[in-house]
Structure 1
Amino acid sequence: MKISFIGTFPPRECGIGTFTRNLIDSVVAAPGNDGPNKVMVVAIDDHGQRYDYPKEVKLTIRQEEQADYLEAASFINISGADICVLQHEFGIFGGQNGIYILPLLHRLKIPLIVTLHTVLKTPSYNERAVMIEICKIAHTVVVMSRTAVEMLIEEYGVAESKIAQIAHGVPDIQFDQLAAKKEFKLSTKHVLLTFGFIGRNKGIEVVLKALPAVVAKYPQLVYIVLGKTHPNVIRHSGEEYRIFLMGLVKKLGIEKHVIFMNEFVDQTELFKYLSASDIYITPYTNEAQITSGTLSYAIGAGSAVISTPYWHAAELLSEDRGRLFPFNDVQALSDIFLDLLDNPETMKTLRGNAYDYGREITWPKIGEKYAQLAEKIVAEQPDVVGETETILDLLALPPFLLDHIQRLTDDTGIIQHAKYGIPNLKEGYCLDDNARALLMVLMTYKRNKHPLALRLSPTYLSYINYMQNPDGAFRNFLSFNRNFLDKIGSEDSFGRTIWSLGYLLGNAPNDAYYQTGREIFFDAMPNFAKLKSIRSIANTIVGICHYLKSNPTDEGMIEVLRQLTNRLMADYELNRTDDWHWYESLLAYDNAFLPLAMLHAAEFLNNEEVNRIALESMDFLCDITLKNGYLSIVGNEKWYKKDGESSMFAQQPLDALAMVLMFHQAFRLTGDQAYVQQLNTCFMWFLGENDLRISLYDFETKGCCDGLESYGVNRNQGAESTLAYLISHLSVLEAFEELTKLKAAKS
């Protein structure tokens, strides 16, 4: 069996790297069903650092380079590996909360085992989303304590059948205590030890404050703090914590009893220090540590351990394998020190119990458990999550809720932006969003007579009316204190308003709404011929087509539609080449709205050329954005120039909406059911089928995040994004109803 491992790896100085090294060695040594196990490593580099890796490392990933993660997925898939084992810790992967690992995992075509080194009880929104997605992809999730099992079940909804509990392994290394003390010239000393990366959450100051009372009775005591400051701490705070500790030692007058060793020692040397110590201490400052490799090592070495009751310690030190003291309780720690030093037999019992348990978790035994788990999974030939086709189950959709829209709306209109899920009043209102909001509530009311949708409709319509100038054009921006911020808005905002008003004229809930909308629409009509922006023309075409659905005999409006459509066609023919079937020399924003407009126009103009251009440009856009089986939007970061490369970030919900609407209209026009599946694929961009493999829909606020950035999800939830999601959601529901009717008619 060949196993691919992903994680940090020596010589990078990292606890997970050491874990991966030990796990690989023990898996290789474990018996395999079809001969010796083979391994390969994909190693994660650290913030621009490069390492001289051993031969097992076949590929490296630069932590903050997302392209490296995609390359790694392809490499693993063609490597001949039977299964992949990921070592997961949020901080070792790139992007917001390590989000860059998700696209890699989704692209794997082999089963996945994930070892979780951290499970958070109160994760942030992004941490929870990343963890849930990882657990969803994995065939089996390995944790190292029962507490972690319970947290995954209760906090993250992971099925218990998917979780395996395998303890943290410890090296099978032993030294005689007297010999080790003699080598370190500590034969006459009572030795206390803490090791591992140093940082504020380690609580070493608690031990220092407890020492004066202990050294007063045991003047030969020495406390060794063995370990370098954590690299992340160095980057942000330098050696501030170590300097603080050294100052505290001096203040307490215990300089002769404390030794700081700023080293990252190898395992053999470490176990020699553990053997030389009388007591090992992990005085961490809070409970939120689900796994501690240092604690496991101390148990494996048969140390007498004292610890605060963080999650792993409370579990590992049960059954008289150690002593616990309350967080930050200096007096309690002093008392335990004195009790153990006063009673050598008690200390001997603790050491014996720890040693006996440590024999059960040596790396050879842990490696064999991993190897057996991998063999079992490979033999079962499970389906791989990343290979499954996106098929939308309507029952699995989030409920359609207007909570966030209601939160953003006041008696003037819908607030343009939000800080996370909270309206940002400083940014005021804009015409685009109120037009889209009107469209959304009209669609909602048409579908299910939602009373809130009807109640909100006049607010958005009155905003549009208020922003219209005497010449029929519109202002766009209004401050929160209702001051105009421009004299004339963008052509894009004009076109989106006509789109919304056209829909109103075809789907008005009552005559008052219809008459108001009709006045605004026709007052704006003289400006149609003045439009220059290609997207404004496209939005206006869609609005006209919605109007014509209820007024199909309006020959004057059909002629206006023909003229605007001809302008799109002219732009298309001007820019089209054999390998570039598009209306411009680049793909920018809201791209799908251009073929969408042509698809709408084709419904009324009975022109084969319009139909051809609509479908040809749609296929061209699909070849670029759907080539990997999910929607990868052209990002607004740099866009996609002809003969250039597509920009991956920042991807906007507005573009996903346009894709959904485009496929919906293509299905209506052609009756081809394949377009409904493509509509589904595009909608699932909102729910995690995207380049970062994470949902933009916020299940807590019922809003939609503002986009995919290079660092992860933009957590702000403005009106545009949430409206894009809701209109897309409604379009999905409509498409499925139409598909059902079509199938029924055929049967």
Structure 2
Amino acid sequence: MTPLRRIAVIGNSLPRRCGIATFSTDLQRAISNSEPNLQTCIVAMTDHDQTYDYPASVALQIKDASVEEYVAGAAFLNAGRFDIVCLQHEFGIFGGEAGAHILELLSRLTMPVVTTLHTVLAAPTAAQRAVMERIVEMSSKVVVMANKGRELLRNVYRVPDDKIEVIAHGIPDFPLVAPDEAKAKLGFSNRSVILTFGLLSPSKGIEVMIDAMPSILKRRPDAVYVVLGATHPNLVRDQGEAYRGSLMARVRKLGVEDHVVFLDQFVYQATLLEFISMCDVYVTPYLNEAQMTSGTLAYSFGLGKPVVSTPYWHARELLADGRGVLVSFGDAMGIGNEIAGLLTDGPRRQAMRERAHAASRSMTWERTAERYMTAFDNARHGHRLKVIARARPDAIAPHRPAVPDMQLGHFLSMCDDTGLFQHAVHSVPDRAHGYCVDDNARALLLACALNEPGEHPLSESQTGRFAAFVQHAWNPDTRRFRNFMGFNRTWLEDKGSEDSHGRTLWALGECGRKDASRSRRRWAAALFAEALSTAAAFRSPRAMAFTLLGLDAYCALTPDDQRAREIRHSLADGLVSGLDLVETPDWVWFEESLAYDNARLPQALIATGLATRTPAYIDAGLRTLRWLMTQQTTSTGHFRPVGTTSFGQLRKPPGAFDQQPVEASATIAACLIAWRADGDAEWKAIAARVFSWFFGGNDLSVALVDSDTGTCRDGLHPDRANENCGGESVVSYLLALAEMRQLVRANINPTNPVALRAIGA
């Protein structure tokens, strides 16, 4: 595997004033310093229409309430070809209910995601649980900073253990030093200093510590409690400085004004380390047990400070085994006794300092960055195709049969005595757009597929209707098939595109091989032979591929047609030549861009290679299909077909939307012929994963198919399914279903020659 080259951290960033901003900035710097030639950046969340003078390390900012900017953020990361995205998740920094807007970004990413969970709630609301579960699902790895986080993820959210990494909060690599020099510099010489730092808010328990000061002063009259930190910006926005004022009033009421110092400032690391260095005891009197992570605790512990704390989750783990002192929540007397005891017992205080400093060496940012880099490599390895395809072939989607029965009700409702309508309004045929040979050729392919064992063939009149449409589409004057026809049966053009001609040849080839009617098989073979010569000059890679798929059937029927064999090799060589011209290590494809029906190109080459015993065709087909699957698979392993928004974009990662059923159908067929070519069962598993796209195994977790009626919606928009159920969509689903049903029959009875022949084995 190539070394990691580009890593993006999503979170808050300094100079925004919050713990996530500090952590994200420190993590990005540590990762950047961990490897030479490694490029890192931050995608910064900006809150409540604020503006910040971000440093150069912030490559993009996203306004937390703007869904459009989350979508744009995903496009930026995909276009930048980042190897890993490292998300910093905390409730409250992303927009939407329970921070749901971040899902709009994550669902569109093409690279693995490693998410650091700064909070794991033991009793989440329904919305919080839903968002958390989706984030975990879309992450290749999740990182927590305490074993309690691992326990909650396993027991509350059912996250598998091998997906969870416990990596301690990073700390500066700072020597163990006596506090005297820093005290002198900061104006606290000859004082016993107790310190709390961080953004002020009621959950920090400062009141409890203030209440403890009179008892401390009885034993250490020189003690001073320094409260370092600005009031939390959200609190200032909502209440101003009322909370800080209430604390100062409490100090005055207790008569300890000379022994409590409020330093209303947000300090950066160099100044912060000086303040920590000068304290004799650090205290975190937090009021909430469910505190998974405390950067202030980690930093003070890492500098070798004796810590007195309430037993919130992070403190309970970090300060165990005598590395600190734990006191009950809200217990002012207990905190006072423990702090006074430490301030009056120098040897005990020094021993605790040394234990804390020694125990924290594995937490330095250098070590933390190493752990993250290992997690990134593991996530990338897990993102590779073989791991993505682990699901059993029958594990299609929850609450659905592995492979439904073939239901043709909607398909037949989309047909009249002319042929298959192009479009529908919801499930109602839309006559305004008439018909096209593309869709009627697909319908003829479906009719052929339904002649396989175990299926129910269409009636003679139904199949004949599609054949008649194809015959009528042939224009002998232009030697091309027309494509578009109005509802009044008037052709709207003299000839269609190369692609529609090639697709019609494909349908004719299959009809010549599989139609139930001997007469219609002869008709199809004759029209194929007449229309084939036009394809010899095709330049469209898809038209070439469709024609090759037709030739696969036609040449099996007429092996003595020398001209057909020549055109077959010419078209296959043309695809391989295009690949040779365009392919690079990062772009293994036949063209400079991706478009529609992409998987038909490798499918055609593999089929041609198998039939003609040409290994070069098979190799090219397998290589391009593997690459295509890396482009069409999300970090969580579900299928994400190339979206229409990226059609024609030169050498750009595919866009996520709009997603269409035709891509899923093509990909299933290509994977199954790849399995036939190299025997790797991985391809069958991938085909099953792609098939689940129809039933909710997609970016929106929305089913596109009603398996009771055979209705298939036209695809996925960024925020919803397309409610229309047109001809192309229903035929694409039914063709995919026919492939999967034949695969299941072959798996059930692998020695059945009829079933094996049905899937080309």
**Is TM (by shorter chain) over 0.5?**
yes
What does the per-residue CA deviation read over 1:644-695, in whole Å, with 9 as the maximum and x for residues that have no partner?
x99957657xx44x654566799999999899788546435469986x6x86
Question: Partners in 2 of 1:446 and 1:595 — Cα distance?
Answer: 26
Where does residue 89 of structure 1 map in the other structure?
89
Q: Which of 680, 691, 697 matches 1:683?
A: 691
Question: Partners in 1 of 2:74 and 2:543 — Cα distance?
Answer: 33
**Superposition deviation, residue 492 in structure 1:** 4.0
C-alpha contact 2:284 2:309 (8 A) present in aligned 1: yes
C-alpha contact 1:171 1:363 (8 A) present in aligned 2: no
Where does residue 300 of structure 1 map in the other structure?
302
Where does residue 736 of structure 1 map in the other structure?
743
Letter in structure 1 aligned against 2:42 = A
Aligned-residue Cα RMSD (Å) equals 6.5
Where does residue 242 of structure 2 map in the other structure?
243
> Which secondary structure does the structure 1 equivalent of 2:351 belong to?
helix
Q: 1:446 to 1:276 in 2, by over 3 A?
A: same
> Which secondary structure does the structure 1 equivalent of 2:321 belong to?
coil
Where does residue 399 of structure 2 map in the other structure?
401
Q: Which runs of 5+ in 1 are unaligned?
A: 31-35, 78-82, 403-439, 448-456, 466-488, 496-527, 584-592, 699-703
Q: Which of 127, 130, 135 matches 1:130?
A: 135
Comparing 670-679 and 658-667, the one that deviates more: 670-679
**Superposition deviation, residue 6 in structure 1:** 3.4
What does the per-residue CA deviation read over 1:446-496, in whole Å, with 9 as the maximum and x for residues that have no partner?
79xxxxxxxxx9xx99xx99xxxxxxxxxxxxxxxxxxxxxxx9754234x
**Superposition deviation, residue 399 in structure 1:** 6.2
Q: 1:682 to 1:230 in 2, by over 3 A?
A: farther
User: What are the equivalent positions in structure 2 for 1:332-411 lying under 5 Å apart?
Assistant: 332-341=331-340, 344-345=343-344, 349-350=348-349, 352-362=351-361, 367-368=366-367, 370-371=369-370, 383=381, 385-386=383-384, 388=386, 391=389, 393-394=391-392, 397=395, 401=399
**Superposition deviation, residue 266 in structure 1:** 2.2
What does the per-residue CA deviation read over 1:567-608, in whole Å, with 9 as the maximum and x for residues that have no partner?
99642885899989579xxxxxxxxx9999999999877465
**Superposition deviation, residue 445 in structure 1:** 6.2
Where does residue 263 of structure 1 map in the other structure?
265
**Superposition deviation, residue 202 in structure 1:** 3.5
Question: Partners in 2 of 1:338 and 1:705 — Cα distance?
Answer: 69
Question: Partners in 1 of 2:646 and 2:372 — Cα distance?
Answer: 45
Question: Partners in 2 of 1:639 and 1:2 — Cα distance?
Answer: 26
C-alpha contact 1:229 1:239 (8 A) present in aligned 2: no
- Identical amino acids, percent of aligned pairs: 20
C-alpha contact 2:304 2:354 (8 A) present in aligned 1: yes
Question: Partners in 2 of 1:542 and 1:208 — Cα distance?
Answer: 79
Question: Partners in 2 of 1:390 and 1:578 — Cα distance?
Answer: 39
**Superposition deviation, residue 552 in structure 1:** 5.4
Question: Partners in 1 of 2:277 and 2:45 — Cα distance?
Answer: 32
Letter in structure 2 aligned against 1:271 = L
Letter in structure 1 aligned against 2:146 = S
C-alpha contact 1:107 1:387 (8 A) present in aligned 2: no
Question: Partners in 1 of 2:713 and 2:230 — Cα distance?
Answer: 39
Question: Partners in 2 of 1:598 and 1:202 — Cα distance?
Answer: 75
**Superposition deviation, residue 295 in structure 1:** 0.2
What does the per-residue CA deviation read over 1:75-126, in whole Å, with 9 as the maximum and x for residues that have no partner?
566xxxxx96946435678983744675797536xxx987665555556233
Where does residue 571 of structure 2 map in the other structure?
none
Question: Partners in 2 of 1:74 and 1:642 — Cα distance?
Answer: 11
Q: Which of 260, 272, 275 matches 2:277?
A: 275
Comparing 40-49 and 385-394, the one that deviates more: 385-394
User: What are the equivalent positions in structure 2 for 1:206-605 lying under 5 Å apart?
Assistant: 206-207=208-209, 223-230=225-232, 233=234, 238-240=237-239, 242-247=241-246, 249-250=248-249, 253-254=252-253, 256=257, 259-327=261-329, 329=330, 332-341=331-340, 344-345=343-344, 349-350=348-349, 352-362=351-361, 367-368=366-367, 370-371=369-370, 383=381, 385-386=383-384, 388=386, 391=389, 393-394=391-392, 397=395, 401=399, 444=404, 491-495=425-429, 532=433, 554-555=460-461, 558-559=464-465, 562=468, 570-571=483-484
> 2:127 aligned with 1:147, yes or no?
no
**Superposition deviation, residue 149 in structure 1:** 4.5
> Which secondary structure does the structure 2 equivalent of 1:280 belong to?
strand
Q: TM-score, normalised by structure 2?
A: 0.57
Where does residue 416 of structure 2 map in the other structure?
none
Where does residue 621 of structure 1 map in the other structure?
596
C-alpha contact 2:17 2:266 (8 A) present in aligned 1: yes
Where does residue 420 of structure 2 map in the other structure?
none
C-alpha contact 2:393 2:689 (8 A) present in aligned 1: no
> Which secondary structure does the structure 2 equivalent of 1:46 belong to?
strand
C-alpha contact 2:195 2:227 (8 A) present in aligned 1: yes
Question: Partners in 2 of 1:665 and 1:610 — Cα distance?
Answer: 25
Q: 1:142 to 1:252 in 2, by over 3 A?
A: closer
C-alpha contact 1:659 1:679 (8 A) present in aligned 2: no
**Superposition deviation, residue 386 in structure 1:** 4.0
Letter in structure 1 aligned against 2:246 = G
> Which secondary structure does the structure 2 equivalent of 1:289 belong to?
coil
Q: 1:120 to 1:541 in 2, by over 3 A?
A: same
> Which secondary structure does the structure 2 equivalent of 1:238 belong to?
helix
Q: 1:250 to 1:17 in 2, by over 3 A?
A: closer
Q: Which runs of 5+ in 2 are unaligned?
A: 63-68, 414-422, 474-480, 486-490, 547-594, 601-627, 634-638, 705-711
C-alpha contact 2:596 2:647 (8 A) present in aligned 1: no
Q: 1:342 to 1:17 in 2, by over 3 A?
A: closer
